[in-house]
């Protein structure tokens, strides 16, 4: 395998057009805290989703040498708001893909989920863009294996957004060095080898849109809150332990441990934000009400559903496909009124990104 940070300095200069779709992912063990150039302070593991997708096409055209040069459309419209993030991404990846200096990139993107819904789209967006760029590079490296290309795409996506490193293949990805997962590392995410228990291959994720407002704290500022945080070291140690526990639970199909670890991770993430300086309360009253009701319903009915959260008020409810009917009845009955315009998104564990052939 080629190390993905190795710079392939071939004289690439040609027209090339490609299109990829990449899924969002939901972390079970949370990445929270980073250092250096987008390196995680602790390992994380996520389910790759299948319905929340970004589809991106890129047309590369030759030009005179210079710094990254692109135009960007979202939903077929020019969107200058997105420019700084894309510019930063292209500048960061240029050392690993020097041919960027000799091409203009015409980028066009769309999401399968509402952009303003409060669902993080940076993971699927950066992964889709990274995959388009690696596809171009791949044309000039016919000896690359599929795994080489996936690793390079994850490596580049990480430089755009840490969680994007985990939006390449399914059903699960690990990012950050963890003793529980040989081959895991901080530079790119890997799809671990163990035989996952089949119950997790199509695990369900119903996303409750409690609050669609823009994030109160950007993720980069959020990660910064772990610098000098009084509980930082304990938190990182806890994440390492939860990687081990979850690996066992995910291979054995041990839902009790899966639920305990997943909920503990979500609550720890919010506990870190509540106890940082400055402190953030990102749950809304309805978020807390939902978490309590999920636990009550699980105790009363025995249906193994559980919750997880990202750095916001929305709740992801996770459950096995075989429990879909009682879980959805419960969700619709109890939570429709809690959600913005009664909205929720039904997703499930998926197979990863795909090239789109028109």
Q: Per CB under 6 A, which region of 134-142, 159-167, 207-215, 288-296 contacts ligand DP6?
A: 159-167
Among 4, 21, 31, 347, binds ligand DP6 (CB under 6 A): 31
Contacts to ligand DP6 from residues 51-110, by CB under 6 A: none
Q: Which of 332, 309, 326, 224 is nearest to 263 (CA)?
A: 309
Contact 62, 14 (CB under 8 A): yes
| Owner of token pair 């997790």 | 200
CA distance 296 to 304: 11
Cis bond upstream, residue 278 (ω within 30)? yes
Q: Is 310 in the site for ligand DP6 (CB under 6 A)?
A: yes
Binding residue count for ligand DP6, defined by CB under 6 A: 17
- Strand 354-355 relative to strand 16-29, pairing: antiparallel
Q: Which of 22, 30, 10, 20 is nearest to 49 (CA)?
A: 22
User: Quick one: 162 or 320, whose CB is closer to ligand DP6?
Assistant: 162
Among 22, 27, 131, 189, binds ligand DP6 (CB under 6 A): 27
Q: Which of 155, 156, 223, 219 is nearest to 190 (CA)?
A: 155
In the complex, least distance from residue 140 CB atom to ligand DP6, rounded to whole angstroms: 29
In the complex, least distance from residue 337 CB atom to ligand DP6, rounded to whole angstroms: 26
Tokens for 340, please give them. Answer: 């913005």
Beta bridge partners of 59: 17, 106
Looking at residue 230, the DSSP 8-state letter turns out to be T
3-class DSSP state for residue 182? coil
Contacts to ligand DP6 from residues 239-298, by CB under 6 A: 269
User: Quick one: 120 or 313, whose CB is closer to ligand DP6?
Assistant: 120
Tokens for 9, please give them. Answer: 């300095």
User: Quick one: 220 or 336, whose CB is closer to ligand DP6?
Assistant: 220
Among 23, 33, 162, 192, binds ligand DP6 (CB under 6 A): 162
User: Quick one: 19 or 163, whose CB is closer to ligand DP6?
Assistant: 163
Q: Which of 50, 23, 22, 27 is nearest to 349 (CA)?
A: 50
Q: Is 161 in the site for ligand DP6 (CB under 6 A)?
A: yes
**Cα Rg of the chain (Å, integer):** 20
Contact 206, 317 (CB under 8 A): yes
Q: Per CB under 6 A, which region of 10-18, 61-69, 157-165, 342-350 contacts ligand DP6?
A: 157-165
Q: Per CB under 6 A, which region of 156-164, 187-195, 252-260, 294-302 contacts ligand DP6?
A: 156-164
3-class DSSP state for residue 332? helix
Among 219, 276, 314, 348, binds ligand DP6 (CB under 6 A): 219
Q: Is 155 in the site for ligand DP6 (CB under 6 A)?
A: no
User: Quick one: 85 or 295, whose CB is closer to ligand DP6?
Assistant: 85
Q: State the residues that interact with ligand DP6 by CB under 6 A.
A: 27, 30-32, 38, 44, 120, 122, 161-163, 219-220, 223, 269, 310-311
């Amino acid at each position: 395998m080629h190390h993905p940070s190795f710079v392939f300095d071939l004289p690439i200069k040609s027209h090339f057009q490609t299109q990829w779709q990449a899924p969002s992912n939901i972390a079970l063990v949370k990445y929270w805290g980073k250092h250096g150039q987008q390196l995680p302070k602790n390992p994380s593991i996520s389910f790759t989703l299948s319905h929340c997708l970004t589809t991106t096409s890129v047309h590369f055209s030759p030009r005179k040498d210079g710094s990254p040069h692109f135009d960007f459309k979202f939903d077929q419209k020019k969107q200058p708001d997105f420019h700084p993030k894309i510019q930063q991404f292209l500048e960061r990846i240029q050392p690993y893909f020097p041919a960027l200096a000799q091409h203009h990139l015409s980028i066009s993107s769309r999401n399968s989920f509402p952009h303003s819904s409060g669902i993080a789209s940076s993971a699927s967006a950066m992964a889709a863009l990274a995959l388009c760029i690696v596809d171009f590079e791949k044309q000039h490296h016919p000896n690359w294996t599929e795994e080489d290309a996936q690793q390079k795409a994850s490596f580049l996506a990480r430089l755009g957004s840490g969680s994007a490193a985990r939006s390449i293949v399914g059903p699960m990805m690990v990012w950050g060095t963890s003793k529980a997962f040989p081959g895991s590392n901080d530079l790119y995410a890997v799809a671990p080898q163990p035989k996952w228990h089949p119950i997790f291959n199509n695990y369900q994720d119903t996303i409750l849109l409690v609050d669609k407002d823009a994030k109160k704290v950007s993720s980069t500022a959020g990660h910064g809150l772990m610098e000098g945080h009084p509980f930082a070291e304990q938190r990182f140690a806890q994440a390492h332990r939860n990687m081990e526990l979850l690996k066992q639970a995910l291979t054995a199909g041990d839902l009790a441990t899966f639920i305990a670890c997943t909920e503990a991770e979500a609550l720890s993430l919010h506990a870190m934000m509540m106890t940082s300086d400055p402190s953030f309360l990102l749950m809304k009253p309805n978020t807390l009400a939902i978490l309590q009701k999920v636990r009550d319903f699980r105790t009363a009915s025995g249906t193994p559903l559980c919750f997880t959260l990202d750095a916001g008020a929305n709740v992801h409810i996770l459950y096995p496909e075989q429990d879909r009917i009682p879980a959805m009845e419960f969700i619709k009955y109890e939570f429709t009124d809690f959600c913005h315009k009664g909205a929720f998104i039904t997703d499930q564990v998926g197979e990863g990104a795909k090239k789109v052939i028109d």
